[in-house]
Amino acid sequence: MAHNVIMIMPGFPGEMPLFTRGLAEVGATVWGVAPGGVNELPELARKNLSHYRSIPELFTNTPAAIAAIREWTRGVTIDRVSCLWEPGVELAAAVREALGVPGLTPLQASRFRNKELMKQALGAAGVRVPRHVAARTVNEVQAGAEVVGFPCIIKPIAGAGSQDTFRCDSQAELDAALAQLGHIEEVSVEEFIDGEEFTFDTVCANGNIEYFHIGYYRPRPLVARTLEWVSPQTLSYRHVDDPEVAGGRAMGAEVLKVLEFETGFTHMEWYKKSDGEVVFGEVAARPPGARTVDLMNFQSDIDLFTGWAEAEVHGRFTLPVERRYNCACITKRAHGQGRIQRIEGMDRLRERCGDAIVAVDLIPVGSPRRDWKATLLSDGHVTLRHPDWKETMAMADFVGEELHLYAG
């Protein structure tokens, strides 16, 4: 039996062609839709699509986009509608509703996208969430800060990751943040949680968590996005039964139950305070970004792009998961501005880490340096894996300290 799957944004962002490939490999007929022309898609996405439709107003006019999709698929039974890009989660839900396709509903999607609705639902169910106030005006932000107290966090209600997120320790810092948030329609003013930051990522099928992953940020993203010299690390826990992360694991399962998530990928961030208290951060109905799915794959030598697709299309997950390694992705930012002039330290890195290096993706000499505030992967990254947790962190630190890109 053929399974027709609409894939919204099959070629962007970076990992989406791999998920598109996963759908095709589990036997789906993939109907790709995006604003641009088919020639703009990466080759991997193009060759795994059976049909493609360009809808320029896809993200600017939902009724028109739905009408175009309805006409395009007339006479065809669509079984699933997928979108793993954060800004398209609610659009995908609207398309499902219009076509009568199962999956995340518009109400459920809104609770994954709107951080205020999200925390209201979870707080009402007894999940420990930061104190929070929604605000649309400067006066409302000010009032929210008075309720929450300093330090506080200002973040977009419908943001992704730590983009446009500010920690404010004083009125002066609050004023400075407000000066940079004029383009944001609504923000959440939240209690700042002082603790270490982790992730709980899942692949679910029919309401069951079939696979989960626990990640660890060094340093926490808010710090990494503030200090240019930092080489941010995302680490992947091999020993997921460690009591250190048991609270976050239990919270993650409860969060998905409260938000009624059924099938697909999820990405949750959570905090552990110095006193052991576990606090919810936020959750998204999509995979983690910044090549974190690669860490999951390297950890167990599996293909979660196909594993997700099997859950999405067939409602099952049959990948054998044996967690053999801890993994780390270390992001590098060049010194200076302009084009990359030289890369130093790769020989020392290969000598120190050897076969533990599983991926190196640095922008080549001669390429213009990227805007480190606009991309999570900055000027490239190195991925490592090792069975021992402390050795994995030691090697990750070595990459941060010894590998350098210079621009000029």
For the chain, the structural domain boundaries read 3-103, 131-191, 194-324, 325-408
**Mean per-residue pLDDT, 220-232:** 90
Question: What distance, in Å, lies between the first and last C-alpha atoms of the chain?
Answer: 57
Q: Could you tell me the CA-to-CA distances from 204 to 2, 49, 284, 305, 341 in Å, in that order? A: 22, 24, 13, 13, 45
Lowest mean pLDDT among 23-27, 125-129, 154-158, 311-315: 154-158
What fold, for 3-103? Rossmann fold (3.40.50)
According to the model, what pLDDT value does residue 243 have? Answer: 95
| Assigned CATH class of 131-191 | alpha beta
According to the model, what pLDDT value does residue 99 have? Answer: 97
DSSP assignment of 298-317? HHHT--HHHHHHHHHHHS--
According to the model, what pLDDT value does residue 203 have? Answer: 98
What fold, for 325-408? D-amino Acid Aminotransferase; Chain A, domain 1 (3.30.470)
186 or 28: which carries more pLDDT confidence?
Answer: 28
Smallest Cα–Cα separation from 331: which of 287, 363, 367?
A: 363
Q: Decide if pLDDT at 184 tops 80.
A: no
Q: Decide if pLDDT at 141 tops 80.
A: yes
pLDDT bin (cut points 50, 70, 90) of residue 226 is confident
Q: Decide if pLDDT at 182 tops 80.
A: no
Lowest mean pLDDT among 143-147, 162-166, 288-292, 365-369: 162-166
Contact 84, 19 (CB under 8 A): yes
Q: Could you tell me the CA-to-CA distances from 152 to 107, 125, 372 in Å, in that order? A: 28, 23, 24
**Mean per-residue pLDDT, 391-397:** 98
**Mean per-residue pLDDT, 204-209:** 97
Q: Decide if pLDDT at 308 tops 70.
A: yes
Lowest mean pLDDT among 31-45, 132-146, 156-170: 156-170
Strand 264-273 with 233-236, pairing: unpaired
Q: Decide if pLDDT at 162 tops 60.
A: no
Q: Decide if pLDDT at 317 tops 70.
A: yes
Q: Decide if pLDDT at 157 tops 80.
A: no
**In terms of CATH architecture, what is 194-324?**
2-Layer Sandwich (3.30)
Check if 131-191 and 194-324 are the same fold. Answer: no
According to the model, what pLDDT value does residue 2 have? Answer: 74
Contact 234, 290 (CB under 8 A): yes
d(C-alpha 284, C-alpha 286), whole Å:
5
- Residue 9, Ramachandran bin (φ over 0: left; ψ between -120 and 50: alpha; else beta): left
According to the model, what pLDDT value does residue 247 have? Answer: 97
The DSSP call for residue 364 is P
According to the model, what pLDDT value does residue 165 have? Answer: 84
Could you report the per-residue pLDDT of 81-111, keeping only the tens digit for each? 999 999 999 999 999 999 999 999 999 999 9
- pTM here is 0.91
Question: Amino acid letter at 181?
Answer: L
Percent of the chain with pLDDT over 70: 98
**Mean per-residue pLDDT, 201-205:** 98
Could you give the angle at the alpha carbon of 359 between the alpha carbons of 358 and 361, nearest 5°? 170
Q: Decide if pLDDT at 181 tops 90.
A: no
**Mean per-residue pLDDT, 370-394:** 94
According to the model, what pLDDT value does residue 290 have? Answer: 87
Calculate the average pLDDT of the chain: 94
